[in-house]
Structure 1
Amino acid sequence: MGIESIPSADLLLLLFVAAALAGFVDTLAGGGGLITLPVLLLAQVPPVHALATNKLQGSFGTLTASLNMLHRGLVNWCEIRGLFFWALLGAAVGTVAVQFLHPEVLDVLVPLVLLTIGLYFLLAPQAGAVERRPRLGEPVYRRLLVPLIGAYDGFFGPGTGSFFALAGVALRGQPLVAATARAKLLNFASNAASLAVFALGGKVLWLAGGVMVVGQVLGAWAGSHMVVRGGARLIRPLIVFMCFAMIARYAWQKGLIATWF
């Protein structure tokens, strides 16, 4: 699918299904971009346009999940609005940077971070079970870590929800369900800022993205209900699975798996 071409009905259906699955998974554990970005790239969408279109559908998915979390009282807006601003700012900077730098600079760093997240939740089964004493002060968390994760989301994206959730559990002592709920609002902030920058630059494919928006909203709505019903019992294994799945995708993309075997 070129930038100017109209996608076929079959391709639009594939994008819809991929977005719905991504919205469900992303709401629970993050990593929905692992599903949607490869589909867009396989459709021969240029990388920057694929990132931009992915932000369009991802923004609506995280918005749906965020509104549901707020409605159910899992997040207090007054407590998170400062973090929301810093996530916006970081994502805007990252999105500007990605249009001048190649995302491959993250090929070494991102798998290492994903491995850390996956091992943390796998080997520390009680992490996030109850609220604990914070290990990182609020000012550093708000003004440094949150904008850094937001910048990563603007620069590339997959795994952002997992990064925000891990930071909440491991560094701020939050229960896993609360950290996941907060992660959705912060992920929405970073998605929205990134989308705005991409849209101003004319990088969004609106027809393909619009179809994916419908799928994302449905998937995110279903996923946000599962967060409430399944809690940490469902979220933890999904985070571990998605982290290792993203690492496998990086290895496959770089031909490392073929080299090993």
Structure 2
Amino acid sequence: MEFGVEALLILLAAGFFAGFVDSIAGGGGLITLPALMIAGVPPIQALATNKIQGMFGSGTAAYSYAKSGLVNLREQLLPATLAGCASLAGALLVSVLPTEWIRLILPVLLIGIAVFFAFRKDPGDLDRTARLTPAAFTWTAVPLIGAYDGLLGPGAGSFYMIAFVALGGYGILKATAHTKLLNFASNVGGLVGFILMAEPLWAVGLAMGVTQIAGARIGAKMAMAKGARLIRPLLVVTSMVLALKLLWDVL
């Protein structure tokens, strides 16, 4: 599939902006997946290509957060593995499961996420009492969101975020850091699944991945410097925009 220079520049810019936003608040797929489809890439192929570039952005952000000490990679090995396996399963099911009901309920969930962070009394950067034990969280929330990431994708980072804050008791910066690691794992798993069913546009995905890396590095640094003051409003905005985009697609 061939792209004009203008289309390629738009896709590269979308990759950069998505990497920046996704490293802070999630929802980068809201930017890149529509951009690929507007450029003329068929839906399944767009989902597959989106996993390539998304893997670079989430991986860069996860590395930045781990390097700063916000994530213990050894402790998160099991959750990351489960996220990847669940995403692989979701990607393999994308061609056989009806997904329209998911598209209908997602806007409601995302608006709930935005309201949660907009009106909750200062989620801040401090950890709070968890509603689920680490084991229960790992075996329930993680694979459910991972499966969604493989099945549809956009907004998975927002779902990981709210799960870590509302169920895991994490402070918002720590939740962001752990979200990026699981997002990376589910991107890898989803990509493996799509490779088995579709033919990703590797050149486009890798090129967008390079700009994703640049955006993710800047976004992760800003998030670590400003914490909840930056993450909270951006999370609210991205959740609302994603909800409106999904409602537009449905209607």
- Structure 1 residue aligned with 2:134: 138
Distance 1:153 1:101 in 2: 14
- Structure 2 residue aligned with 1:84: 80
Is the contact made by 2:54 and 2:187 (CA closer than 8 Å) also made in structure 1? yes
Give 1:129 deviation, angstroms.
3.7
- Structure 2 residue aligned with 1:238: 234
Give 1:105 deviation, angstroms.
3.1
Distance 2:74 2:171 in 1: 19
Distance 2:199 2:190 in 1: 11
- Structure 2 residue aligned with 1:47: 43
2:100 aligns with one of 98, 104, 111: 104
- Structure 1 residue aligned with 2:154: 158
> In the alignment, does 2:224 pair up with 1:228?
yes
Which residues in structure 2 correspond to 1:1-261 (within 5 Å)? 5-255=1-251
Structure 2, gaps ≥5 residues long: none
Give 1:128 deviation, angstroms.
4.1
- Give the aligned residue type for 1:9: V
Is the contact made by 2:82 and 2:143 (CA closer than 8 Å) also made in structure 1? yes
Q: Deviations over 1:103-134 (max 9, x none)?
A: 43311221121111111101104224421111
Which of 121-130 and 187-196 deviates more?
A: 121-130
Q: Deviations over 1:224-253 (max 9, x none)?
A: 111111111000000000111111112222
Give 1:102 deviation, angstroms.
4.5
Aligned residues: 251
Q: Deviations over 1:134-164 (max 9, x none)?
A: 1112222111110000000001111111111
SS where residue 243 of structure 2 aligns?
helix
- Structure 2 residue aligned with 1:259: none
Distance 2:165 2:124 in 1: 5
Which of 236-245 and 108-117 deviates more?
A: 108-117
Is the contact made by 2:26 and 2:235 (CA closer than 8 Å) also made in structure 1? yes
Give 1:25 deviation, angstroms.
0.3
Structure 1 pair 209–102 and aligned structure 2 pair: CA distance change class (3 A): farther
Which of 156-165 and 129-138 deviates more?
A: 129-138
Distance 1:21 1:53 in 2: 17
Distance 2:250 2:110 in 1: 16
Which of 198-207 and 157-166 deviates more?
A: 198-207
Distance 2:155 2:112 in 1: 12
Is the contact made by 1:7 and 1:208 (CA closer than 8 Å) also made in structure 2? no
Give 1:60 deviation, angstroms.
0.6
- Give the aligned residue type for 1:70: A
Q: Deviations over 1:143-200 (max 9, x none)?
A: 1110000000001111111111111111111111001000000000000111112123
